[in-house]
Amino acid sequence: MGAPRLTHLAVVRSPMGPALPKRLETTGRLAQLETLDASGCLLGLEGTTALLLGAPPSLTKLVLRFNQLTERHLTALRQLPRWPRAEVRFEEVTFGPEAHQALAEVARAHRLQLEVSGCVVSLRSSP
C-alpha cells in the first residue's frame, strides 16, 4: 500500500528558498499537485521562475506570498517562454509603486487575465 496522492501542498516559510522547486520536482511531488502555496519561502526571481516553468498541467493555483519579488523581477517574468495554466496569486507582496503596471505587462505578454482584489493580484490564463 503506497502513500496517498498529494494534490494540495502548503510549504510556508521553507528555508530552502530558490531550491524549493527543484526539491519538489526531484521528490515527484510537483508533478501531481493541483494547488501549491509557497508563501514566505523567499523564492526570489530564480525560485519563482522555476515554479512557473515547472508547473504541471494539473496545477490550478500557485500562491506566491512574501517571496522577495520586486518590480524588476515582475518585469523579467514577461520574458518567460510560457506561463502555467494555473492561477498565479501574488498575495501581500511588497511591491514598489510600479508593480501593478509590471504585472499588467506580464498579463499582456502572456495573454493572461489580471484580477486585483484587495491585496491579492491574480494572473490566470484566459479561457
Q: Which three cell numbers stand for residue 108?
A: 499582456
8 A C-beta contact, residue 3 and residue 32: no
In a domain, 14, yes or no: yes
In a domain, 53, yes or no: yes
The angle at the Cα of 122, spanning 70 to 90, to the nearest 5 degrees, equals 35
Q: Which three cell numbers stand for residue 40?
A: 514566505
Task: Report how many domains make up the chain.
Answer: 1
CATH no. for residue 112? 3.80.10.10
Strand intervals (E) in the chain: 8-10, 35-37, 61-63, 87-91, 112-117, 120-125
pLDDT on residue 5? 79
In a domain, 2, yes or no: no
Greater pLDDT, 5 or 48: 48
pLDDT on residue 124? 92
Owning domain of residue 101: 8-125
In a domain, 1, yes or no: no
Q: What is the mean pLDDT of residues 1-6?
A: 65
Q: What is the mean pLDDT of residues 84-111?
A: 83
In a domain, 35, yes or no: yes
Tracing cell 519563482 back to the chain, one arrives at: 48
Q: What is the pTM of this model?
A: 0.89
In a domain, 63, yes or no: yes
Q: Which three cell numbers stand for residue 76?
A: 523579467
In a domain, 3, yes or no: no
